[in-house]
């Protein structure tokens, strides 16, 4: 069996869960985060993927949750100019482009099997950055 498919230790799972929960709590600022049901449900999968170390999945889900939240805000007529940062800010453009590159192979391959084994640190950094960006967006 490929070692990358092994479950993380309980200690590592707990560390990751604590990191994720701290980010979520910071975004909530002591109250609930107001997001739609679909975004909320996907947030659970994002936390599970993060704790499991499914880094690429985290990037994909973070942008997907952000898209769902943006659609909800637009449908409700809320957000206004603040949504421009989430659409066009350089960090959010990075997240969208990274997700798109991972999901839609158009020319250059964004992810290889070798990356899954040799570039785990970079993939984890990308996942953490994606989650941080998502929670910054949900704060606003």
What average pLDDT does range 112-129 have in this prediction? 91
Q: What is the pTM of this model?
A: 0.91
Residues with Cβ within 8 Å of residue 41, at least 6 apart in sequence: none
Domain extents in the chain: 8-139
The pLDDT, as a whole number, for residue 66 is 95
Residue 37 has pLDDT above 80, yes or no: yes
Burial of 101 per CB tally in 10 Å (0-12, 13-18, 19+): middle
Q: The tokens of 75 are what?
A: 């449908």
Q: Which long-range contacts (CB under 8 A, 24 or more apart) does 30-38 make?
A: 33/138, 33/139, 35/65, 35/68, 35/69, 35/72, 35/138, 36/68, 36/69, 36/72, 38/68
Q: How confident is residue 85, by pLDDT bands cut at 50, 70 and 90?
A: confident
79 Rama class: left (phi>0) / alpha (psi -120 to 50) / beta: left
Q: Residue 90 and residue 33: Cα distance in Å, rounded?
A: 24
């Amino acid at each position: 069996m490929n070692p990358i498919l092994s479950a993380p230790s309980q200690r590592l799972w707990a560390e990751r869960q604590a990191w994720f929960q701290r980010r979520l709590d910071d975004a909530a600022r002591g109250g609930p985060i107001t997001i739609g049901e679909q975004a909320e449900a996907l947030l659970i999968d994002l936390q599970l993927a993060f704790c499991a170390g499914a880094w690429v999945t985290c990037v994909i889900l973070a942008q997907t949750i952000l898209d769902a939240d943006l659609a909800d805000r637009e449908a409700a007529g809320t957000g206004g100019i603040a949504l421009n940062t989430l659409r066009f800010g350089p960090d959010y453009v990075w997240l969208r482009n990274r997700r798109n590159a991972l999901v839609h192979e158009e020319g250059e391959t964004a992810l290889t099997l070798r990356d899954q084994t040799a570039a785990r640190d970079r993939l984890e950094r990308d996942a953490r950055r994606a989650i941080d960006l998502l929670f910054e967006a949900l704060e606003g």
